[in-house]
Amino acid sequence: MSESYQNYVNGSWTDASTGETFETNDPAAPNEAIASYQQSDVEDANAAVEAAAAASEEWAETPAPQRGAVLRETAQNLAARKEELTELLTREEGKTHAEAGGEVQRTIDIFYYYAEKTRDLGGKVKSSSGERTNLYTKNQPVGVAALITPWNYPIAIPAWKIAPALATGNTLVLNPASVAPGVAIAIFEALDDAGLPDGVANIVTGPGSSVGDAMITHEDVDAVSFTGSGEVGHMVYDAATDDGKRVQTELGGKNPTVVSNSADVEEAADIVAAGRFGVTGQACTACSRAIVHTDVYDEFVDAIVERAEAIEVGPGDEYDMGPQVSESELEGTLDYIEIAKEEGATLATGGNRLEGDRYGEGYFVEPTVFTDVENDFRIAQEEVFGPVLSVIEVEDFEDALETANDIQYGLSASIVTDDHTEAERFVDEIEAGVAKINDKTTGLELHVPFGGFKQSSSETWREQGDAGIDFYTIEKTIYDTF
């Protein structure tokens, strides 16, 4: 029998007011139920927000190092369950065991990081023009935060929203994606075991169209943090800002890796393959476009095709690349493969759903490479959330940079080159929030800002590191004259 989970509201594990539940399934074996969750609605969301609002003042007044102690113990609790959570993430979302384990470890590290940051929270002392005036600033929590997170990093993304919010004295409500909410609930189990006061952090599962909407429009919510699709993100942004709420959104990407004629082609192929086919291509920072200098284009195509064909696909506990998370995601990827063919791109390898033997009814697709792609093709302009790479040929560095920037997104980008001048120009001129040299587009350090340009984010507040603290605090200036 599958596990059954409840909402966590005001320090108690509770059923949804609807009395209804929904199930998650293993994307490698869709007929296998993993767990059941509460099918919550507006009433449940409102109760969670009200609990967070009631707990807000007391948590804000709790000394920051005491808040840090709760986060530190939460990290310890998660670490004690690392293997269990890794297996749950693999079964519910489809990542390989190594990928899932890395994500769980990142979550642990995030809670440890913000636990230590609580020791340094405060303001700044400034010199005053008056002789008897002490002039300084202090940072105060925003209040109640509504957090809405996606399925592709179902424990790390909630963690990098929850930990800074709690560290800075905010209370919160989380609505995780319904595809894989189990590991997010584990965070709240760890917080509860760490002695977090009632109402400070709450989680309500169920559809974002009702639960999420009720959260972001509730009058007691002061800040909204959303990660997900551009279409939904723009609606979230409009709804939150109409009410004067502080808001940050991260909305996806169409990330390029430029391969220079000075690059080591074998190294470039390794970098692009890791950035495109890792986590089954289901990352907002995944490399979607390889923009390759004509002098090394043919050699690169041969190398990247070789890398793609060497990947062993199957259930995540045994193979190099797991399934897509759901049937709809798989169908979306297969649709884009057909669109690319119709547009005139050349299918160099892959392009098929994998069936039979070890694949069963799972949502598996071959690592896919298209060549002869023009940058105005839909396959090169629209986000494909699967293991599909477009290879675009360019004449020189100027052409490569222009092609890389000729897109509505601007999240992550990289260049593979041995030319220092190219590298320096690339990081200066690329229109992306993350720029890398001789590295894959995926992979983020937790102590530096993360966010995009253009349609990849609201371009308001960054996440992670000190930027995460900035989003959840308001600075007040104090004139103290006696």
**Residues 458-482: tens digit of each pLDDT:** 999 999 999 999 999 999 999 999 7
**Considering only CA atoms, which of 186, 243, 180 is closest in space to residue 213?**
243
Are 318 and 359 within 8 A, CB to CB?
no
Q: Is residue 381's pLDDT more than 70?
A: yes
| Per-residue model confidence as pLDDT tens digits over 83-130 | 999 999 999 999 999 999 999 999 999 999 999 999 999 888 899 988
Q: What residues pair up with 234 in beta bridges, in sequence order?
A: none
pLDDT at 374: 97
Whether residue 388 is predicted with pLDDT greater than 90 in this model: the reply is yes
pLDDT digits (tens, 9 = 90+) for 391-449: 999 999 999 999 999 999 999 999 999 999 999 999 999 999 999 999 999 999 999 99
pLDDT band at 189 (very low <50, low <70, confident <90, very high): very high
Q: Collect contacts of 59-62 with beta carbons under 8 A, ≥24 apart.
A: 59/141, 59/166, 59/169, 59/170, 59/171, 59/197, 59/200, 60/140, 60/141, 60/169, 60/170, 61/169, 62/169, 62/197
Extents of the domains making up the chain: 3-251+457-481, 255-437
Asked if domains 3-251+457-481 and 255-437 share a fold, the reply is no
pTM score, whole prediction: 0.96
Q: What is the CATH superfamily name and number for domain 255-437? A: Aldehyde Dehydrogenase; Chain A, domain 2 (3.40.309.10)
Specify the CATH number of the domain 3-251+457-481: 3.40.605.10
How confident is the model at residue 122, as a pLDDT? 85
Angle, helices 156-167/64-80, rounded to nearest 10 degrees: 160
Residue located via tokens 């993304």: 157
For the segment 266-286, what is each residue's pLDDT rounded down to a tens digit?
A: 999 999 999 999 999 999 999
Average pLDDT over residues 245-260: 96
Between CA 256 and CA 275 the distance in angstroms is 10
Q: What is the pLDDT of residues 126-171, one digit of tens each?
A: 999 888 899 999 999 999 999 999 999 999 999 999 999 999 999 9
| Residue 130 confidence (pLDDT) | 84
Q: How many CB atoms lie within 10 A of CB 105?
A: 16
Answer whether 206's CB lies under 8 Å from 44's CB. Answer: yes
**What are the catalytic residues?**
284
Q: Cβ neighbours of residue 1 under 8 Å, at least 6 residues apart?
A: none
Decide if pLDDT at 1 tops 60.
Answer: no
Under a CB-based contact definition with an 8 Å cutoff, are residues 176 and 184 in contact? yes
pLDDT band of 2, cuts 50, 70, 90: confident
The residue-averaged pLDDT of 67-82 equals 98
What pLDDT digit, counting tens, does each position of 312-357 carry?
Answer: 999 998 999 999 999 999 999 999 999 999 999 999 999 999 998 8
Q: What is the pLDDT at residue 131? A: 84
The residue among 386, 310, 320, 313 whose CA lies nearest residue 355 is 313
**Mean pLDDT value of segment 378-403:** 98
Q: Report the pLDDT averaged over residues 219-229.
A: 97
- Average pLDDT of the chain? 97
